[in-house]
Chain A
């Protein structure tokens, strides 16, 4: 790409962000669908996620995830301010090497990130979720399919505010491709492209069933069988709940820490983790 091209892309992006909001406010009503779909400016976010997978028996594990999600604001343009703190927990059942299921709950703390003053700065959001994950080896890489179903109760920042109930239907396709090795093992750098489609349903959902489409690529490094780090970039887009003609966009830098300790006694683990016998 030449200098000149870079310049024109920047100008285009500036026009979008600068005039988009103004245009929406004036010409389209709150719930009135626009004539053509309109894309909001991409929100820049930073997610720092930890994923714990703690083995508690031969077939059960505790899925413990804590995510810290930051979102840019006018005052803090890049890293942004804390938007959500995510506590996702579940008990998982390992059916086989290539299939497991989980059931648990989520408590998400939502922080207000908009510039306009609201009644409350922090509201909780509750979810019950269950998940069905398939894995399959393909040559030197692994392919994963994840179906995750969530039942969520959300609340606005206004006071008083009732809980809104919605269901979320998520499917994710993910690959892990080792880059410097013939298979995934310690000291392996891998690239993981993933695509997740999140659909939603519920009384509140009228014209915006596609909540989010997330396209991510991460680069991971397996430190040990029990510890992996990864970082990646995600582009996402999805319909605004209030107006199906409006599309939110997001660019998210993601930093992940995966850990899977096993506190069971040595003799219960040895010589191998057998799952099918």
Chain B
């Protein structure tokens, strides 16, 4: 721990001194935070509730920006944690095993180490970078490496190469670690841009697993993908815009498969193999944006074989189209609009290729806010979502899910010379019908939620309380769940406003069917102390006690969960 903390404090100290003694300007933040977690379960040996945070964690951040003269800046971002906690993705399992090599630490998605020196229009990108070149080429994955971004006048040239994950061997566990191959990335963009007017850019992005880097589980295959895309965005007068992108991917699902002349090769970038697939994707959005009126239509197509290492969770084989609008209406005497409406309608069609099970989804949503006068406002929302898959093998009755949500939310405020009051009410009704494709049985799921909030604001005192009461009722066949929550919070500055205290108590009475009720009490407090103008000490403590009724065995099982987070933050 010490090895991480000492250099950061030294750098922060240097940064502070640089600001006062030299023409170099430094601004940014640095800090260290400790989080401790505790869980006590009773009766002893009962494991029905698992820990959901690491027992101990220390996080560091050091993010100064050095400004040398007018044209040169050096932003630094070191943001990392002492213990791995990966539960999804290529590093999955490392969190529970608690072991990682130095290379894995450097490239672990939980850590960032980046330097981005920039001189006028030339930027060098070093370390961990989350670079989004476009919606269809690359953008979701953090890569540790090196590259540059050049933007002389309207020219855009970008290049970056690095590693998004290190090789990780399979481990039978526990915990089971499926492992991963080391994945290298290369990306390049050439384009022209004038901010607010146009962007035309060609992107090429490649990711390739290194087969010799590890021995992961047999189901983890060494992959290789190349994606090329062309982006064209045009912004016209009066808020009109057109955005489009077309892309092609060549993706090898298994580099261990033999080379093949029957599949597509793009040498020297990628060689076709038996597991190589090639497909297209595209998107188009047209619309108009203004202060009081927006309208837009968009279409997105992702081919069944379109796959890119830059967006590993992209769902293929679909066509989406949506129409959105937003507008303000009903002008007051003061010239402000009293009404705001947001609406959206769209559909998704799956299985354009014929290789997947057919399904369609429909959605529609409406949000309507009105400020009637100084006292009353009303928000109404309605959302509908439908999913429909016709009968097929395995689904003799077809799958159908329909979700309808309606909410109404009036708010009344009033005040006198000493204080103001805000009384909020909210009711939401949700109906969800789910048809089982195998049995044809339709399950209707009804949920009612009612909420009352009261927030008094004192003009002459510095305490800020708030109160709320909520009732939640969910009714499905064989399960009726009701929750009643009351909550009170209070915040108050002390020590001449140097310390801000806040506390909250929340009690929930839950009941499932005819079982005896369960009880939940959560108490939390935060202490934010400005030690100096630049240095703050923030502490947060919370404890959560939950006691089951007789809905589970052993009856009366309970747990106490506590979190303590405390940290120093320096702004300079």
Are A and B physically bound partners? no
Residues of A within 8 A of B (CB): none
